[in-house]
Structure 1
Amino acid sequence: MKKRVLFLFMVMISLLGFSQVQDVTYTISPNTFEEDDSITITVDGTTLNEASWGITDNALYIWSWSYDLNDENSMDCPTNGSWTNSNEANKLSYNSTNDEYSITFTPSTFYARTDIGRIGFLFKAKDGSGDKKTPDYYAEVGSFQLTRTAPTDQTTIITSGQVVPITATTTLAADFVLKANGNVVNSSSSSSTSYSYSPTLTESTFYELEATNGSTTLTSSFQIIVTPTVTEAPVPANMKDGINYDTGDNTKATLVLYAPAKNYIHIISSLNNWLVNDNYLLKKDSTKDRFWIELTGLTPQTDITFQYLIDGTLRVADPYSTTVLTESNDQFIDSTTYPNLPAYPTGQTNHSVSLIRTGEIPYNWQITNFTPPAKEDLVIYELLVRDFDALHSFDAVKARLDYLQDLGINAIELMPVSEFDGNSSWGYNPSFHMALDKYYGTTNAFKQLIDECHSRGIAVIIDVVYNHGTGQHPFYRMWNTDNGGYGGQASVDSPFFNAVATHPFNVFNDFNHENQATKDYVKRTVQYWIEEYKIDGMRWDLSKGFTQVSTTDVGVWSSYQAGRIAILKEYADYQWEVDADSYVILEHFADNSEETELINYRVGEGSKGMMVWGNHNHTYNEATMGYHENGKSDFSWISYKNRGWTVPANVSFMESHDEQRLMYKNLQFGNSNSGYDITNLATALDREELAGAFYFTIPGPKMIWQFGELGYDIDINFNGRTGEKPILWNYFNETDRKDIYDTWATLIALKKEYDVFRTNDFTLDVANTNGLKTIHLTDPNGSSSLKYVTIIGNFGVTTQDITPAFQQVGTWYDLLDNNTTINVTNVNSVISLQPGEYKVYGSSPSTLSTEDNSISRFTVYPNPSRDYIHINVNVTEMIIYNMLGKKVLAYKGNYRPDHPFHIGSLPKGMYILKMKEAHKTTTTKLIIN
């Protein structure tokens, strides 16, 4: 018998804010058809905005697939082409008179298969990247069709004892069977084209109406929910919002949902076949506006998927899910990235679902004593997992850590990794703030990446997005004007979102951070990331948006706001409550008085005090391009002292994910003079080395955007601003590009090695209209190391003389050229610099060799020793070998000077001690007595 099931749920696809999904009106003629019939699908062009997809010449395409007679075993149409380049065979014809697109085909030919029970299709631009497509649409194959005429909704809510008419029609005469919760309750063998039955219901029931014509059976499924009586009971002690696992009983889990003004909530899940069952009705704690349920008898290490069914109609995943499954994205995640990905319950529900798995074996952290770098020493590498490696995974990033460690960075900042709409994204479209996005890998893979980073002395910072949530966010769907859909706007009773955004840069749905519900949500999710993943800090995206001062004026929005400051101080406290050393970095760009108050908050308490992003892209790029008139290339605002600050709290950058790449503009718009042309590739790359010399040497935290160290020169708008960019690891093998990497690595090593680059005694002379720039740094305590540094550079396009103004006469050392010496007899004697030439001079030579057996800087004490030894400098690795060369003890991490290393487990004798700090490795003898 051929049996086709008409799915209970229509698949809903989010109108993604960062994507460009459009719903269109279409028709199929004839409306019932066999697989050998010719059919025509017509799209109403008035319902399509071609320009938003960049469509020209009416180039619209169909992307299609088919199923077998049981509506299973999907196969793509062989002429689809690729997602980024549709086959011309699937292009729709355009009728300008009617503004209609159409395509005609015979299913068995079009799909190159027979016994087709169902077809699926969508319409798209030729290059569909960036979600330039419609939702998925479906059509049943066969002239025999079943239509349910009552009840018309998939879910109907009634009171107990109510009569419910059930009626249906078919296109051909059929025998009917009605099943309730799997049991036959009514049948009709009259071979009629209509059906009618009216039961009286006292309990919730799932119905299946079957119509059989010959060998074909069609099924229409629906449910009737009888409004339940809710039990009032207090939420059990120590339960948090979301999923609570019982550490003493791995067969139990307690779910808690904040849902003011909601009447009743069921759990629908793999535990109850996704049917409404009052055994899974949540209790209600009206005093806390929360519903809860304790699930028992669970099988440990078994995947359980579930949703909340609110008031009988709205299906949402838990807002505090740590893993969510999505119907339209998960099938595109490969098993290499995410092995054994649980299957989405297709055909049983729609929208995102939550995952419960009790009895999981905790991750065994290898590094438990990591100390993050001091804020002033930070060199952060901002990284988008998707565009960093073709495998777009945490594992792939981990495999590249040698590259990053050799560059010398000591922190990675990951663009958002919490669950976002779609798969390919920048991540600033968050839908679940506590779930890891599966497109990048598993939770253990993320922990392994962090563990490995910590073993190398590299901190991990994540980008978090709390200005807004997308339409898929459960708390948005629970209170909106779209009846729980993804569109509309937040309703006035929303405890979380503003109906209208309060500031001009908002996207998606604007959180109201003055509401206690939002604060509770932020606290719960922020602290989870720190506790669960041991991340070292957070970069708060669009933190200036955390305001209820409504304005469309950017100037007003950026002005001092006490309310916003209070919110951000509270959020910083959330981080420090669970990790006193956690970095708090704000993308703020507000009035200097506001940023000053934020960076000074709790600044004297250990490692506390916030940091803010400092965008210097424009001035540095003007400098690299060779334009200096009217202060264009004056990047002196990078100095925290110019802002009236006493601490270097500005995370400065020449590039971030949001700015045009320096090299792109060098090549497109660089200045020139005679034989010197900045649009020449080699010259443009040299200008990046010059910029680095005047960037990393300025005291304070710094950030690099991925591949800036190789002169990445792809337009930020390539493939759309947020679209995927070419991953060009081959650049590392090009000499001129590798020179930037090597130069920046040396500059970073200098920055971390010598206190002079932490000094508050420094001056910048970088405003000259001729492009000549100087930096002077003095370490008043550096007489025995590196006391003075003078940096000179010619950002112009002609040879020029510069007055270096050395701090003293005597021998100076070129720190970037093997400590080549010059003898300074007059501190103001001019030096001639070619265009693009620069020098970093030190009053003492640097010692940055990769293998240096001198122990002049390293002191190990006590030596001899018995139980503990200390090393007087910051080290990332300490290894002890016996006299036969066998490793007998090792420590890896980021250890502060004078950290105690326990050696009491080793027997008496002579040993070799190897210590590593940044780019320097030193060995010495150690005696244990």
Structure 2
Amino acid sequence: MKNLFLLLLLNVLSVGIFAQFITLTPAGAGGDDSVVLTFDATQGNGELVGASKVYMHHGVITSSPTGTAWQYVIGNWGQDDGIGEMTPVAGQPNKWQLAFTPSVRTYFNVPAGENIFRISGVFRSADGNTKGTIAPGNYGWGTCADNLDLYVNLNNANYLQINAPLTDESFIFQGQPITISATASSPVTSMKIWIDAGSGYVQRAAVTSGTTIQHAYFPTASGNISIKFTATINGEDLEIVRQHSIVILPTSVIQPLPAGVQAGINYNAADPTRATLVLQAPGKSIAYVAGDFNSWTTQAAYQMRKTPDGQFFWLELTGLIPGQPYVFQYWVDGTIKIGDPYADQVADPWNDSFIDAATYPGGLPAYDHPEFGVATVLQTGQTPYTWAASENAWQRPDINHAVIYELLIRDFIGDHTYKGLRDTLAYLRNLGVDAIEIMPFNEFEGNESWGYNPNYFFATDKYYGPKEEVKRLIEAAHQEGLAVIMDIVMNHAYGTNPMVKLYFDQAANKPAANNPWFNRDHVGQYQWGYDWNHESGYTQAFLDRLNAYWIEEFHIDGYRFDFTKGFTNYAPNGSVDGFDQSRINILERMADALWDVDPDAYIILEHWSPQAEEQILGNYGMKMWANRSYDFVPAVTGTNTGSFQNLNTTTHVQFFDSHDEQRIAWHALNESLANANYDGRDPLIAYERLKLAAAFAFLSPGPKMIWQFDELGYNIDINFNGRVGNKPLPWGPDGLGYYEDPLRRYIYDAYQGILDVRRAMGPANLASATTNHKFTGETRRLSYDMSDTDLVLIGNFGLTASAINPAFTQTGTWYDYFSGETIDVTSTTANRNLEAGEWHIYTTTRLSDGLPNVVATYSNPVTITPYPFTQNQEITIRFDATKAFPGETAGLVGAAKVYIHSGVVLDPASNDLVNVVGNLVDDGVGQMTEVSDDIWEITLTPAAYYGLTEDQEALQLSMTFRDEDNTNVGLGFRNSVIYFNVESDDPFITIEPAAFTIDDPITITFNAQRGNRELVGASKVYFHSSVDVTDTTTPWNTGWNNVTGNWGQDDGVGQMTQVPGQPNKWQITLTPRSYYGLNTGDVVYWIPAVFRNADGSIKGTGTPGPIEHGLIHTSQDFFLRNQLVVGTDDALHAGLDFRLYPNPAKGAVQVVLDGFEGDYQLQVLDLTGRPLHRERLQLNGFPNQQHTLQLGSMPAGMYLVRLVGDTQTVTKELLKW
């Protein structure tokens, strides 16, 4: 009851807060009244504040007071055409009105007698790109649904609701009744059913109490009737009238199936004026063919014959014009209208009009019957495709070691066509891949899609072009040496699929229990579309025919089957995650049938099942997808958890990202760690680390996969424009320019080189080699000892220089593939030093003369002490001329004078320098001091040096270096301008008060200028958060159980407020009890939090480790600690310093003490203040005194390390992973 009361309280608060989001005038208006609707754009998400125009895309709900099915819709989404345009309220900015006059009914043209329960709507900008909405929930004016559609309630105190019939027509057989029923909103004193069959209304049923009435009507002939319901409710007389059409169906003619035909369209090879249509529809009563050839009517001549076993209906069409496309459907049992499940072309009345002639030359057949839904096309006399002779000699690459390139045609090539992809095959061939895996291109719902919403499985999707172009594409790919793998979905189908529609329970909105192909309910917890029943012989026969069709008709080389984990009817406790022998049997049966057609066809499964099950399937000859992002992303970002072990398995196609994962380049550029001289988020560094990851991935044997444009460092967020929305191209006139960017082209060149090495060595040879690999840690290694050429790959994934035993297989001469240099190995185990991000491919045979500039080791010629620093700190900038790039000059090694030419960046939206100091002449401004050979320094305080005013906050320092007459220069890595971030003077996060109860209002302030600074300049910042009410040192395991916030939604929930005068600081004030729905007695120990932009594509975070008020976890999440431990620390006395490193730590941590002298106690405490460890230290006052603190078996979590002396107590937070 307590929780219920709290929920009701929250709902009341929500209604109070947002009561004026929508207002109806007059209040309590009904569907027959004149109504004015007012929208306040300042409420809710506020996205339309300041809009010059606001539209309401709107309709009405006629089904029930809580219905959501829009009817009588007005508006053209995304069009600025005046339809639904609202009027600004005079003198009230950001308020907009729409008048429904002379009544709601007349405005929407709703027939008299039809109930109007709600107005449905969406407020949008003129172009439809922005919506004004509110958090889902119930409000005083109505409801905001989970999809953010709005439903405004109208007054319906007394009403009648028709329960049956719900359609405008009934198809029945002679002697069958039609059920007629209605429900009243309140008990009636009279309710009647009247029917007019042509001679006037006749009363058929009556009640004088209750709320329901029903009648079974037995028509004697086809025709139209008028049904009238009358009732008296609370003294009000009501009447509803419905027109209804009745068709009494004839019986089917029973006749065997002609010889040589099967389900689908059967063309007559001898007579192109004939075709036989066969529909498999067991248990159905009657079927017609309707289409262009009979004006879309049910005619006796087009009634299909029914086979004696009741399995099939068939009809031979005659008089067809050869070469002419005909659009047609099967009309089954009067109400079901479907296309042919086996047709190779679909006619879509909603989407085909958006496919232009450039995409589909010759145009699509006209079909404008949205009332019938999706149809299909038959065309006799088609010219068979003539395959090139090269197809006879085609040999598929060995799938055990193939490198596969996954792509989505829509986002890969600007014209999104099969032809465009064919013209781009050379790009993929030159890259060095063996196969392309094309995301689903059989017909799917809509045009813009990933394709995992299939409806017609034998048709190519027309948004990419005609079916002939698919054949040309595959033929050309084979000629380039590329296999073609079809990504196909047989886990589920969507609602326009003909076999879903043929047996569908409309009332339950799910497949009927007697559907031969689909389960009535989803099996297991993963649910998309409608669930294929893979235990059914009908489904198995369909799948076998489908697999054979694409192999035989299109020369596909194999399949990647989407989510085969769902190929089961076994889900104990509602889960399909466990080992499942029945699923193994289903897949092995499918594989056998496919391999009977083509013994060498590839079968790749997206399976995600227990290792034991996947091993069985792998041993059977199938391949499983294996997502290794959990190993590669930490390596690339510098956290260096995870392992490269088992990269050599041949049963799994391994990858570090796919269409379902965030890009590895996105992780690198947004989440990488940094230190004073090496920031993994810097593109110059990140690009080199991406190459390093690719080397370890692709120089391991076994099948591998590349997701499109990884070879260009594509880093667009997966949620950009929605997860499955269009992503910008890397090339072309409207593209991102990646392909034209030399630095990104170097990534392509590196991939190309790595795959060249893979090909030269032979992945099968690598698989049989003697190995001495190192799979974990900052430095890693692959070492192959083979009969001919040996290979060693070494790399440093750390952020600082480190040494590694390269495990060379022999002494003597080795060749560096990318540099072209030779090295003389005198010891196979002598350590080699690697800078951060440095890597090398060494072979005992020269494989290249080097690829200049493709791979380079990052070095920064500048160090700044201290680092990080603020603009008000004195800093020393040290320049090492030997590490600088010279541009197109001789460089600054040996220069007599060196000047720093520098400025600051103030605008987060650009890298433009302001307050530049330096005149490019020998005037002493910016002159540095040489402190040793080619090492130059200058000491300055940024605020003073660059003349910053009190209200200016520097985001970065930018610098280059020159000699006295600017003849020679010193630049950063790859001749870049050098930038250093300037820390804000203020903390990353503050909580006021720092210690609080659940009833205390607290203010959390986020400083976007700290950490990765990704939210600097953001227009909105959201606080996505939870509370942890458990006393724990590992809140990342328990903390996310009370989430407030809707990720990626710009709905106002958790939206922060910009601090006045400080554009990069954001605040939110909340009371934990009400904000998180807590109970009396709850204690907040931690607040897990993520700070994000409006759409969730960008997060503000920092380097994992302790921060004031908590920590940043390796997940990049913040965990903010309620200051439950009350301790007194003294300010550090002058000359003293206390540091912990590494922090976070694993096994041991170094306690570094400067200047402490005398007896001290070193304590380790948990966050409640409970001591876990104590020891005495005798300190001598020297700098850099070090003591090793063993963390032992202490579990991962946050701890306090406290140094206690007679006159000084100081505490540091320590994070143990």
Q: TM-score, normalised by structure 1?
A: 0.69
**Residue 746 of structure 1: SS of its match in structure 2?**
helix
Structure 2 distance, partners of 1:525, 1:325, is: 20
What does residue 498 of structure 1 align with?
A: 519
Structure 1 distance, partners of 2:50, 2:600, is: 57
Structure 2 matches for 1:673-822, cutoff 5 A? 673-729=675-731, 730-755=737-762, 758-763=766-771, 765-769=773-777, 771-780=778-787, 783=788, 786=789, 788-818=790-820, 820-822=821-823
| 1:581, distance to aligned residue in structure 2 (A) | 1.6
Q: Please tell me whether residue 592 in structure 1 is matched to residue 594 in structure 2.
A: no
What does residue 169 of structure 2 align with?
A: 155
Q: Which amino acid in structure 1 is aligned with residue 631 of structure 2?
A: T
Q: Which amino acid in structure 2 is aligned with residue 722 of structure 1?
A: V
**Which runs of 5 or more structure 2 residues have no equivalent in the other structure?**
1-23, 60-72, 90-94, 103-119, 132-145, 150-163, 179-197, 199-217, 226-241, 732-736, 852-1217
| 1:563, distance to aligned residue in structure 2 (A) | 0.9
What does residue 174 of structure 1 align with?
A: none
**Residue 731 of structure 1: SS of its match in structure 2?**
coil
Change in Cα spacing, 1:336 to 1:849, as seen in structure 2 (3 Å) is farther
In 2, are the aligned partners of 1:159 and 1:227 still within 8 Å (CA)?
yes
Q: Please tell me whether residue 461 in structure 1 is matched to residue 485 in structure 2.
A: yes
What does residue 845 of structure 2 align with?
A: 844
**Residue 665 of structure 2: SS of its match in structure 1?**
helix
**Residue 646 of structure 2: SS of its match in structure 1?**
helix
Please, which of 581, 584, 592 is the counterpart of residue 600 of structure 2? Answer: 581
What does residue 921 of structure 1 align with?
A: none
Structure 1 distance, partners of 2:264, 2:592, is: 22
Change in Cα spacing, 1:581 to 1:130, as seen in structure 2 (3 Å) is farther
In 1, are the aligned partners of 2:86 and 2:96 still within 8 Å (CA)?
no
Question: Comparing 347-356 with 289-298, which one deviates more in the overlay?
Answer: 347-356
Please, which of 304, 317, 322 is the counterpart of residue 326 of structure 2? Answer: 304
Same amino acid, percent of matched pairs: 35
| 1:307, distance to aligned residue in structure 2 (A) | 0.8
What does residue 529 of structure 1 align with?
A: 550
| 1:749, distance to aligned residue in structure 2 (A) | 1.8
In 2, are the aligned partners of 1:61 and 1:86 still within 8 Å (CA)?
no
**Residue 432 of structure 1: SS of its match in structure 2?**
strand
Structure 2 distance, partners of 1:712, 1:489, is: 40
| 1:693, distance to aligned residue in structure 2 (A) | 1.1
Change in Cα spacing, 1:478 to 1:55, as seen in structure 2 (3 Å) is farther
Change in Cα spacing, 1:707 to 1:443, as seen in structure 2 (3 Å) is same
Structure 1 distance, partners of 2:47, 2:526, is: 24
What does residue 85 of structure 2 align with?
A: 90
Q: Please tell me whether residue 670 in structure 1 is matched to residue 672 in structure 2.
A: yes
In 2, are the aligned partners of 1:274 and 1:349 still within 8 Å (CA)?
no
**Residue 271 of structure 1: SS of its match in structure 2?**
helix
In 2, are the aligned partners of 1:41 and 1:102 still within 8 Å (CA)?
yes
Change in Cα spacing, 1:303 to 1:619, as seen in structure 2 (3 Å) is same
In 2, are the aligned partners of 1:685 and 1:737 still within 8 Å (CA)?
yes
**Residue 698 of structure 2: SS of its match in structure 1?**
coil
| 1:457, distance to aligned residue in structure 2 (A) | 0.8
Q: Which amino acid in structure 2 is aligned with residue 515 of structure 1?
A: S
| 1:753, distance to aligned residue in structure 2 (A) | 2.6
Structure 1 distance, partners of 2:372, 2:122, is: 21
Change in Cα spacing, 1:778 to 1:707, as seen in structure 2 (3 Å) is same
What does residue 329 of structure 1 align with?
A: 351
In 1, are the aligned partners of 2:766 and 2:784 still within 8 Å (CA)?
no
Q: Which amino acid in structure 1 is aligned with residue 492 of structure 2?
A: H
Q: Please tell me whether residue 474 in structure 1 is matched to residue 498 in structure 2.
A: yes
In 2, are the aligned partners of 1:377 and 1:752 still within 8 Å (CA)?
no
In 1, are the aligned partners of 2:413 and 2:421 still within 8 Å (CA)?
yes
Structure 1 distance, partners of 2:705, 2:81, is: 40
| 1:573, distance to aligned residue in structure 2 (A) | 2.2
In 2, are the aligned partners of 1:122 and 1:133 still within 8 Å (CA)?
no
Please, which of 632, 635, 652 is the counterpart of residue 644 of structure 2? Answer: 635
Please, which of 567, 573, 579 is the counterpart of residue 560 of structure 1? Answer: 579
How far does the alpha carbon of each residue in 1:207-240 deviate from its partner, in whole angstroms, 9 at most, with x for none?
Answer: 9xxxxxxxxxxxx999753311212122222322
How far does the alpha carbon of each residue in 1:868-890 deviate from its partner, in whole angstroms, 9 at most, with x for none?
Answer: xxxxxxxxxxxxxxxxxxxxxxx
Question: Comparing 570-579 with 681-690, which one deviates more in the overlay?
Answer: 570-579
**Residue 544 of structure 1: SS of its match in structure 2?**
helix
In 1, are the aligned partners of 2:455 and 2:497 still within 8 Å (CA)?
yes
Structure 1 distance, partners of 2:420, 2:555, is: 20
In 1, are the aligned partners of 2:349 and 2:370 still within 8 Å (CA)?
no
Change in Cα spacing, 1:299 to 1:490, as seen in structure 2 (3 Å) is same
Please, which of 429, 438, 443 is the counterpart of residue 419 of structure 1? Answer: 443
What does residue 18 of structure 1 align with?
A: none
Q: Which amino acid in structure 2 is aligned with residue 90 of structure 1?
A: E
Q: Which amino acid in structure 1 is aligned with residue 847 of structure 2?
A: S
Structure 2 distance, partners of 1:500, 1:163, is: 29
Structure 2 distance, partners of 1:93, 1:278, is: 58
Change in Cα spacing, 1:252 to 1:201, as seen in structure 2 (3 Å) is farther
**Residue 511 of structure 2: SS of its match in structure 1?**
coil
In 2, are the aligned partners of 1:376 and 1:758 still within 8 Å (CA)?
no
In 1, are the aligned partners of 2:47 and 2:130 still within 8 Å (CA)?
no
What does residue 619 of structure 1 align with?
A: 631
How far does the alpha carbon of each residue in 1:71-130 deviate from its partner, in whole angstroms, 9 at most, with x for none?
Answer: xxxxxx9997846x9999835889xxxxx99634999xxxxxxxxxxxxx9857557589
Structure 1 distance, partners of 2:321, 2:577, is: 53
Structure 1 distance, partners of 2:76, 2:314, is: 47
In 1, are the aligned partners of 2:442 and 2:459 still within 8 Å (CA)?
yes
Question: Comparing 807-816 with 233-242, which one deviates more in the overlay?
Answer: 233-242
What does residue 368 of structure 1 align with?
A: 391
**Residue 694 of structure 1: SS of its match in structure 2?**
helix
Whose RCO is larger (CA < 8 A, sep 6+)?
Answer: 1
| 1:762, distance to aligned residue in structure 2 (A) | 4.9
Please, which of 344, 350, 357 is the counterpart of residue 379 of structure 2? Answer: 357
**Which runs of 5 or more structure 1 residues have no equivalent in the other structure?**
1-24, 33-37, 66-76, 95-99, 108-120, 136-149, 165-185, 187-199, 208-219, 602-608, 641-647, 851-929
| 1:551, distance to aligned residue in structure 2 (A) | 4.0
Q: Please tell me whether residue 570 in structure 1 is matched to residue 589 in structure 2.
A: yes
**Residue 496 of structure 1: SS of its match in structure 2?**
coil
Q: Tell which structure's C-alpha radius of gyration is larger.
A: 2
**Residue 439 of structure 1: SS of its match in structure 2?**
helix
Structure 2 matches for 1:134-533, cutoff 5 A? 154-157=168-171, 225-287=247-309, 289-347=311-369, 349-366=371-388, 367-369=390-392, 370-482=394-506, 488-533=509-554
Q: Please tell me whether residue 835 in structure 1 is matched to residue 836 in structure 2.
A: yes
| 1:161, distance to aligned residue in structure 2 (A) | 11
Q: Which amino acid in structure 1 is aligned with residue 277 of structure 2?
A: L
**Residue 450 of structure 1: SS of its match in structure 2?**
helix
Q: Which amino acid in structure 2 is aligned with residue 655 of structure 1?
A: D
Cα RMSD over matched residues?
4.3
Structure 2 distance, partners of 1:226, 1:654, is: 61
**Residue 692 of structure 2: SS of its match in structure 1?**
helix
Change in Cα spacing, 1:62 to 1:286, as seen in structure 2 (3 Å) is farther
| 1:206, distance to aligned residue in structure 2 (A) | 11
Q: Please tell me whether residue 103 in structure 1 is matched to residue 125 in structure 2.
A: no
Structure 2 distance, partners of 1:805, 1:348, is: 68
Structure 2 distance, partners of 1:470, 1:130, is: 28
| 1:490, distance to aligned residue in structure 2 (A) | 1.6
Q: TM-score, normalised by structure 2?
A: 0.53
Change in Cα spacing, 1:516 to 1:371, as seen in structure 2 (3 Å) is same
How far does the alpha carbon of each residue in 1:364-403 deviate from its partner, in whole angstroms, 9 at most, with x for none?
Answer: 2223222111113311110011111222111221222221
